[in-house]
């Protein structure tokens, strides 16, 4: 019997490991990826002409990056690799794509969604000024392009990405004028023992912090409020510390984000059931330990269905592939499954501690000014959201969307959705889970009316 | 625990017509309960194209559309909400001489109903819309038509109805309604309503409600497939349709261009309507033929919604033929948005006065009494 | 010209020895290097990629990973490109300030 169509979306660590394991199991998967080159965001490869040695690009992760990149070359014709291709809709067993040759549709039997994550952002004064980027963006600028986002740069974060980006900028010779962590230091101390269970990762964090200290950059914890100032572009950053004191620093660029957010659009369009993760305060598609979603034939791996990081993504990618093979009626290595499950369970304990150590700084949303833009695509302010909630009975997210256009811009709510839910829940005095989530619509990303450009 | 309500009028469905009826009924002093399976104004009322159009309607619908049009001018004031109504005019394009002949015939007949249409030749169309695609040979312009934001109209009526004292129950799908002799008993999730009158405004589900009273109403599910672009500089000053109905385009003042193409897919039982990729791609191609400047613009969202469609593409409005004090209003077949406000009034008139000034005889449910065919879903164009 | 547009936002940390790629921004000649993304090429010269449609001010991209859709750029030939996923090509004529078009 000919193999049936197995599609993997995303050529990051999860998707690549999934493709590799599928090939090992005798399947020739179709691997779809938006980027020009494999690696995902974490192991993103610069465009031709901007390449540098892996040690310069990926630091301590160079070996892993090399290994992940090597998968594709090794697999060669054993997979059907389709780079520069957007998967823009999935309905029933059909996947719609747009690639260099135009639109295409695939009828699949099994779909592995490894869509990854993006920076989680929230609105603060001045956040839409040119020169304010996410931490991930700041990292991509330096890694993939060899540029800094400005000459005098400030960073704000709420997760392990902050020390890493600070380290990368310091190493590249950029001037860092401030590095602010908005999570409380006490949360980190409290969760340190559990994080020790994954000593290697913790050591890496310490190593970056130490290197940052040597480079003269101190990360200030417990920052309570921030804002960016400037006319037309960034001129400075202010913050308020735990004691209530205000500080200011002149800068021309700010990298700021607050943890990671799963890219869940494809899973949503596929009809997967979602659950609210109370620790990270976001909706994620439900998956079982084997990687099955609630929809038959649709599988989830990597950060797209719960933030685990690159190492977890690799393990999940392989684990999900084994599930797909099993569901296709193929023999799989039970010992390997057990080993992967053991490793994943260990990682999950560490991850839980990490998430508690870097809680989502929802407190920054307590007093967002009415004038502040929440939806940067459409310029919808917090005041507009609050007014719709109180005067127009917008008591859940899709009503709020219908009345205010929140989530109706180019990004379709992937940037503002979670923050808008926080604003709505506070206005209504409800739990954030009770206001629901924005329903996804195709296309996953904008597509040209007249075909591919 | 199930709530019990006793009202003069129970309304199944919470679309624009239903909520407008609730407002009008409250204003004549009757008590009302609206039972909506999801959210008021979030079905076909809320996700349609947003056309406020008289031109191109079935001639039997024109008197209603004319009366409705007058209501749109004052809707903001009535609802206390900016519904973004603008009389941009509606232009219907001909892509062949046969199309043009059809437009000429229609204009002649529409005039008898008081609707003045302006016929435009190939050059005159280009004076209006200089960028229009080459295959357009002429058009008919209805200056008094326009467009509005469908997402806000239904909910605004629902809020006004509640303010006037109507009982609005959302997420209350109706499972059963029976005639009790003296009136009706209607069971919904969480609430049972006894009423003297019952209104069936259940959209795609109205055929089922009608069957509870022994009436045949072949309602098919209609799921128009719609798309919207990123914001573009304002350049489409009219709402646009074509003969055949396979392209419709409008641009809102913020810049987004809304257009349609084909049919979505879904499940009426689940209330699910989703856009269909193949249909979207087809609509994109046809729309670029009409508006070539859209080729490089990007589609940022596609959606669909669930409406009820009758085999003859005109609605059912009027008294039940089997059951006293049961009123039907459904099956708007993709073009009910403009009519919503007036249908609300008509429902209220039928209940309060026993009659209406609007000529609704063509919409009687009795026309399907001997119907032996199935439901008849259209597959071609949908005129909104 | 809008003063906020006049000087670049980005700063090159790693010298690039690839080919020079000529392009224009609002008609003014500019130079990029092989390996530059369109976003990088513009932001090395300007502090914005586009005007914001719904209010004052400009936008200069935000996530750089094709998620936020903030960096859609117009070319004089009508093309619309996501600058963080598009490589600069010789002769691209970027239009930021609509007034400078043509």
List, for residues B212-261, the tens digit of each pLDDT value: 999 999 999 999 999 999 999 999 999 999 999 899 999 999 999 999 98
Report, as an integer, the average pLDDT of A195-203. 61
Model pLDDT, residue B203: 94
Give chain B positions within 8 Å (CB) of A442.
275, 277, 280, 301-302
Model pLDDT, residue B271: 76
Confidence of residue A194 (pLDDT cuts 50, 70, 90): low
Lowest average pLDDT, out of A36-45, B23-32, B185-194, B350-359, goes to A36-45
Model pLDDT, residue A382: 97
Beta bridge partners of A152: A175
> Among A43-57, A154-168, A402-416, which range has the highest average pLDDT?
A402-416
Could you tell me which chain A residue has the CA closest to the CA of B304? A441
Please give the Cα distance from A34 to A9 (Å, whole number): 9
Confidence of residue B277 (pLDDT cuts 50, 70, 90): very high
Residues making up chain C, counted from first to last: 102
Report the SS3 class of residue B266.
Answer: strand
Backbone torsion region of residue B199, taken as left when φ is above 0, otherwise alpha when ψ lies between -120 and 50, otherwise beta: beta
Confidence of residue A198 (pLDDT cuts 50, 70, 90): low
Q: Please name the residue that has the structure tokens 């054993």.
A: A78
Helix (H) or strand (E) holding B4: strand B3-12
CB contact (8 A) between residue A145 and residue C36? yes
CB contact (8 A) between residue B155 and residue A393? yes
Please give the Cα distance from B344 to B16 (Å, whole number): 8
CB contact (8 A) between residue B298 and residue A89? no
Cβ within 8 Å of residue A156, ≥6 positions away: A162, A179, A180, A181, A182, A223, A226, A237, A239, A254, A255, A256, A257
**Chain B (220-259) residues lying within 8 Å, Cβ to Cβ, of chain A:** 229-230, 254
Give chain A positions within 8 Å (CB) of C42.
none
List, for residues A372-404, the tens digit of each pLDDT value: 999 999 999 999 999 999 998 899 999 999 999
CB contact (8 A) between residue B294 and residue A449? yes
Please give the Cα distance from A364 to A366 (Å, whole number): 6
Q: Is the pLDDT of residue A201 over 90?
A: no
Please give the Cα distance from B16 to B161 (Å, whole number): 11
| Whether A96 contacts chain B with CB within 8 A | yes
Model pLDDT, residue C100: 42
Share of chain B above pLDDT 90, in %: 91
Could you tell me which chain C residue has the CA closest to the CA of A47? C35
Share of chain A above pLDDT 90, in %: 78
Model pLDDT, residue C102: 34
CB contact (8 A) between residue B298 and residue C54? no
Confidence of residue A185 (pLDDT cuts 50, 70, 90): confident
Instruction: Name which of A1, A40, A28, A10 is nearest A299 in CA terms.
Output: A10
Backbone torsion region of residue B379, taken as left when φ is above 0, otherwise alpha when ψ lies between -120 and 50, otherwise beta: alpha
List, for residues B313-356, the tens digit of each pLDDT value: 999 999 999 999 999 999 999 999 999 999 999 999 999 999 99
The angle at the Cα of A327, spanning A321 to A328, to the nearest 5 degrees, equals 90
Lowest average pLDDT, out of A86-95, A187-196, B189-198, goes to A187-196
Q: Is the pLDDT of residue C1 over 60?
A: no
Lowest average pLDDT, out of A250-254, A347-351, B36-40, goes to A347-351
CB contact (8 A) between residue B81 and residue A441? no
Contact partners of A by the rule of 3+ C-beta pairs under 8 A? B, C
Beta bridge partners of B258: B228, B250
Model pLDDT, residue B103: 98
Give chain B positions within 8 Å (CB) of A398.
39, 42
Could you tell me which chain A residue has the CA closest to the CA of B82? A403
Q: Which of B281, B282, B292, B297 to mutate to test the interface with A (most CBs of A within 10 A)?
A: B281
Share of chain A above pLDDT 70, in %: 94
What average pLDDT does the structure give for chain C?
A: 91
Model pLDDT, residue A367: 83
Note the helical H segments in chain B. Answer: 16-27, 44-47, 62-72, 75-79, 97-112, 122-128, 150-163, 206-211, 277-290, 340-353
Report, as an integer, the average pLDDT of A210-216. 73
Report, as an integer, the average pLDDT of B286-291. 97
Give chain C positions within 8 Å (CB) of A265.
none
Give chain A positions within 8 Å (CB) of C54.
378-379
- Neighbour tally for C12: CB within 10 Å: 15
Report, as an integer, the average pLDDT of A234-245. 95
Instruction: Name which of B381, B121, B146, B115 is nearest B251 in CA terms.
Output: B146
Q: Is the pLDDT of residue B32 over 70?
A: yes
**Chain A (338-397) residues lying within 8 Å, Cβ to Cβ, of chain C:** 376-379
CB contact (8 A) between residue A141 and residue C48? no
CB contact (8 A) between residue C14 and residue A52? yes
What average pLDDT does the structure give for chain A?
A: 92
Please give the Cα distance from B348 to B346 (Å, whole number): 5
Confidence of residue A217 (pLDDT cuts 50, 70, 90): confident
Lowest average pLDDT, out of A349-353, B188-192, B322-326, C1-5, goes to C1-5
Report, as an integer, the average pLDDT of B271-296. 94
Could you tell me which chain C residue has the CA closest to the CA of B298? C80
Model pLDDT, residue A53: 87
Q: Is the pLDDT of residue A54 over 70?
A: yes
**Chain A (186-225) residues lying within 8 Å, Cβ to Cβ, of chain C:** none
Report, as an integer, the average pLDDT of A266-285. 95
List, for residues C30-64, the tens digit of each pLDDT value: 999 999 999 999 999 999 999 999 988 999 999 99
Q: Is the pLDDT of residue B369 over 70?
A: yes
Cβ within 8 Å of residue A282, ≥6 positions away: A120, A261, A262, A276, A360, A418
CB contact (8 A) between residue B300 and residue A403? no
Report the SS3 class of residue A388.
Answer: helix
Concatenated DSSP letters of B136-196:
--EEEEETT-EE--HHHHHHHHHHHHHHTT-EEESS--EEEEEE-SSSEEEEETTEEEEEE
Cβ within 8 Å of residue C95, ≥6 positions away: C26, C74, C75, C76, C101
CA C94 to chain A, closest CA, distance in angstroms equals 16
Report, as an integer, the average pLDDT of A155-182. 92
Please give the Cα distance from A12 to A314 (Å, whole number): 9
Strands (E), chain C: 11-12, 20-25, 28-33, 50-51, 58-59, 72-75, 80-82, 93-95
What average pLDDT does the structure give for chain B?
A: 95
CB contact (8 A) between residue C54 and residue B231? yes
Q: Is the pLDDT of residue A109 over 80?
A: yes
Exposure on the CB side of residue A336, measured as CA atoms within 13 A: 15
- Which tokens go with A10? 């995303």
Report, as an integer, the average pLDDT of B24-45. 95
Report the SS3 class of residue A103.
Answer: strand
């Amino acid at each position: 019997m000919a193999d049936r169509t197995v599609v993997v979306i995303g050529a990051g660590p999860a998707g690549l490991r999934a493709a590799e394991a599928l090939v090992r199991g005798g399947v020739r998967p179709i691997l779809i990826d938006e980027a020009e080159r494999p690696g995902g965001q974490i192991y993103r490869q610069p465009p031709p002409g901007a390449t540098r040695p892996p040690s310069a690009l990926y630091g301590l992760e160079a070996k892993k990056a090399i290994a992940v990149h090597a998968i594709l070359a090794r697999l060669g014709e054993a997979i059907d690799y389709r780079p520069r291709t957007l998967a823009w809709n999935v309905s029933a067993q059909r996947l719609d794509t747009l690639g260099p040759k135009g639109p295409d549709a695939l009828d699949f039997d099994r779909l592995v969604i490894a869509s990854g994550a993006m920076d989680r952002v929230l609105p603060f004064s001045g956040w839409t000024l040119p020169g304010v980027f996410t931490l991930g963006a700041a990292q991509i600028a330096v890694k993939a392009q060899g540029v800094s986002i400005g000459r005098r740069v400030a960073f704000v974060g709420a997760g392990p990405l902050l020390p890493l980006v600070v380290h990368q900028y310091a190493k590249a010779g950029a001037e860092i004028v401030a590095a602010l962590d908005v999570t409380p230091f006490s949360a980190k101390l409290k969760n340190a023992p559990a994080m020790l269970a994954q000593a290697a990762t913790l050591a890496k964090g310490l190593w970056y912090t130490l290197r940052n200290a040597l480079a003269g950059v101190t990360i200030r914890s417990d920052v309570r409020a921030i804002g960016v100032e400037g006319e037309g572009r960034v001129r400075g950053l202010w913050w308020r510390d735990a004691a209530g004191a205000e500080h200011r620093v002149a800068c021309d660029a700010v990298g700021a984000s607050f943890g990671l957010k799963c890219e869940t659009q494809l899973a949503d369009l596929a009809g997967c059931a979602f659950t609210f993760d109370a620790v990270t305060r976001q909706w994620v598609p439900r998956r079982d330990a084997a990687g099955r979603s609630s929809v038959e034939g649709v599988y989830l791996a990597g950060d797209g269905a719960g933030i685990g990081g690159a190492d977890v993504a690799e393990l999940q990618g392989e684990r999900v592939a084994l599930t797909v093979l099993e569901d296709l009626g193929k023999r799989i290595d039970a010992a390997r499954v057990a080993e992967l499950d053991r490793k994943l369970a260990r990682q999950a304990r560490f991850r839980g501690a990490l998430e508690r150590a870097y809680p989502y700084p929802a407190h920054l949303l307590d007093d967002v000014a009415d004038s502040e833009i929440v939806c940067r695509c459409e310029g919808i302010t917090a005041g507009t959201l609050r007014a719709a909630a109180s005067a127009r009975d917008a008591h859940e997210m899709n009503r709020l969307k219908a009345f205010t256009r929140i989530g109706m811009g180019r990004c379709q709510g992937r940037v503002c959705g979670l923050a808008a839910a926080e604003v709505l829940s506070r206005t209504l005095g409800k739990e954030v889970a009770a206001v629901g989530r924005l329903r996804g619509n195709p296309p996953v990303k904008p597509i040209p009316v007249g075909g591919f450009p | 625990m199930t709530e019990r309500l006793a009202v003069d009028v129970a309304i199944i469905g919470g679309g624009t017509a239903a909520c407008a009826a609730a407002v009008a009924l409250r204003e004549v002093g009757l008590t009302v309960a609206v039972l909506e399976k999801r959210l008021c104004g979030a079905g076909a009322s809320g996700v349609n194209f947003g056309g406020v159009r008289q031109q191109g309607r079935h001639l039997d619908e024109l008197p209603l559309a004319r009366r409705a049009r007058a209501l749109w001018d004052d809707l903001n004031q009535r609802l206390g909400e900016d519904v973004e109504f603008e009389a941009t005019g509606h232009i219907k394009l001909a892509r062949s001489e046969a199309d043009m002949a059809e437009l000429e015939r229609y204009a002649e007949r529409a005039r008898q109903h008081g609707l003045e249409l302006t016929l435009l030749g190939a050059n005159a169309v280009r004076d209006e819309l200089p960028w229009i695609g080459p295959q357009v040979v002429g058009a008919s312009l209805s200056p008094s038509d326009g467009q509005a934001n469908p997402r806000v109209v239904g909910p605004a009526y629902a809020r006004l109805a509640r303010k006037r004292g109507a009982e609005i129950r959302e997420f209350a799908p109706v499972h059963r309604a029976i005639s009790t002799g003296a009136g009706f008993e209607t069971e919904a999730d969480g609430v049972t309503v006894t009423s003297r009158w019952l209104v069936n405004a259940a959209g795609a589900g109205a055929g089922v409600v009608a069957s509870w009273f022994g009436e045949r109403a072949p309602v098919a599910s209609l799921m128009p497939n719609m798309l919207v672009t990123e914001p573009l500089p304002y350049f489409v000053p009219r709402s646009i349709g074509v003969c055949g109905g396979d392209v419709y385009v409008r641009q809102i003042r913020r810049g987004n261009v809304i257009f349609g193409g084909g049919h979505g897919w879904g499940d009426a039982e689940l209330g699910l309507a989703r856009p269909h990729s193949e249909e979207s791609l087809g609509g994109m191609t046809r729309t670029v033929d009409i508006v070539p400047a859209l080729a490089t613009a990007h589609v940022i969202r596609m959606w669909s919604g669930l409406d009820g469609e009758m085999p003859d593409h005109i609605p059912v409005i009027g008294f039940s033929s089997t059951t006293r004090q049961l009123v039907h209003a459904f099956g708007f077949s993709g073009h009910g948005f403009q009519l919503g406000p007036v249908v609300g009034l008509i429902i209220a008139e039928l209940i309060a006065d026993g009659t209406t000034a609007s000529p609704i005889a063509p919409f009687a449910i009795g026309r399907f009494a001997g119907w032996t065919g199935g439901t008849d879903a259209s597959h071609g164009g949908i005129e909104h | 010209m809008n003063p906020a547009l006049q000087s670049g936002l980005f700063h090159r940390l790693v010298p690039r020895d690839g080919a020079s790629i000529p392009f224009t921004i609002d008609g003014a000649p500019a130079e990029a290097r092989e390996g530059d993304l369109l976003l990088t090429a513009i932001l090395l010269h300007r502090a914005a990629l586009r005007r914001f449609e719904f209010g004052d001010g400009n936008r200069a991209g935000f996530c750089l990973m094709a998620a936020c859709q903030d960096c859609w750029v117009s070319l004089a030939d009508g093309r619309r490109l996501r600058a963080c996923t598009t490589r600069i090509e010789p002769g691209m004529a970027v239009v930021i300030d609509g007034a400078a078009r043509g």
